[in-house]
Amino acid sequence: MAVTTTASTAVAFTPSWGSRLAGMEGLRALAALAVATVHTHDFLTGGLAWGPVGAAAGVALNGLMLFFALSGFLLYRPFATALLDAAAPPRIGAYAVNRVLRIYPAYLVVLLLVSVVLGVANRIPFSIDGADRGPLIGRTTDPLVLVTDATLLHTLFPFSMRTGLEVSWSLTVELVFYAVMPLMALAALRWRPGIARGRHAWIRAFVPVVTLLAIGVAAKVVKYLLFAGLPEDSDFYHHWGANWYAVLARSFPVHADLFAFGMAAAVLVAAFESGLVKPRLLRVFRGTATGIALFALLAAFILPTMLRDTAVAAASGGLILVVATPASTRGPGILARALEAWPLRSAGLVSYSFYLWHLPVIWFVGMHGWAGPPTWAGFARDLVVVLTVSLALAAATYLLVERPALRLKRRTDARAGALASG
């Protein structure tokens, strides 16, 4: 299942724990492309209706759910292995350092360029009666807002809601997950720590998964009940504006279940890697995962609105499981190999920087009147411009900021000492 990397790409491709799984960068690329496509349509070609494919587009292009599921899968996988095998968990100190190096260097550089130099940041929060405060997009002039943006605390307060890089609210959710998930895994490890490879080990590995799923669904129900009595014409304001309702809507508890499906996939992949799932069951294993993904996608069309993201995240978990498990003992399946194609793998490498850059690029195009007409031809032109410019900026940010930071990452498993002395 591991993919051998060349020396030039080892920093990018090699995880800080275990072996690399084929297709993960390709999945990141698909998620980033989906998010950019939706935002280009909504913010540059907003007058263009999806028409009869609208519902399908809303489900298929929900790339953020795939990002969340991927985080759950990749970060929980070493903890799941420890829970199933009663092995040593990842080193928490190194894990924390690696998470900071992964998120903050590129984010701070892009934020400062966008907020101070280019002037295409969300400078103030959206407010129903705040039209006289000036344009929403521009340079950030409030030092306190800039500080909360830089520390990724901005979605915790109404006065800084949706400021800075608009997509960065999801990074705050990610950061809370980074902190909560290891604590839950370590707590599960303390439950009957001598048990391995038995029923209790499986229960232990799934306890954090079920807990986050329950938290997410419960928080969504609470959010639905709180929002039910609000005026419909202020729905956007209450989801994204300067108010405490928006703080709840952007919070980790409301999104906790979206990580759980990737975590569930991590448990099953760890079970296969540990020999708890026999190779002869691979066909059934992958078939079940495919069925789960397809069923979840269909459910997204009929479930209440508050659970549609949950259904898409479940489909993403099934997709990740299909990609991460080999088709046979000889190696990755067709889908994983397709996702290893150079264009997808390269786009996946810079997907984080691309995610940070694509909305400022959209704002820049819109502010200068370069957007196309609300036609499919205009949308296609806008999408090409946004993807091209964002990828170029992302590649530069990756080479100059991300890759040097990634070289500082530490191994989090037992091989750390051997690698350091080798």
Residue-level length of the chain: 422
User: Longest C-alpha distance within the chain, in Å?
Assistant: 67
pLDDT at 9: 44
Distance CA 9, CA 398 (A): 12
pLDDT at 118: 94
pLDDT at 200: 74
pLDDT at 418: 35
Could you tell me if 409 and 97 are in contact, meaning their C-beta atoms sit under 8 angstroms apart? yes
User: Model-level pTM greater than 0.85?
Assistant: yes
Q: Which of 268, 286, 290 is nearest to 277 (CA)?
A: 268
Q: Which of 380, 410, 375, 359 is nearest to 137 (CA)?
A: 359
Residue with tokens 């990018």: 12
Block mean pLDDT (10 aa), the chain, length 422: 40 62 92 94 81 68 91 94 84 92 96 96 83 76 95 95 94 97 91 62 90 96 92 88 94 96 92 75 77 81 83 92 79 86 94 97 93 90 96 97 90 49 30
Single-letter code of the amino acid located at 412: T
Distance CA 27, CA 33 (A): 10
Taking the domains of the chain in order of start, what are their residue ranges? 7-415
* Token pair belonging to 309: 């993201």
Distance CA 10, CA 287 (A): 32
Residue with tokens 């997509």: 167
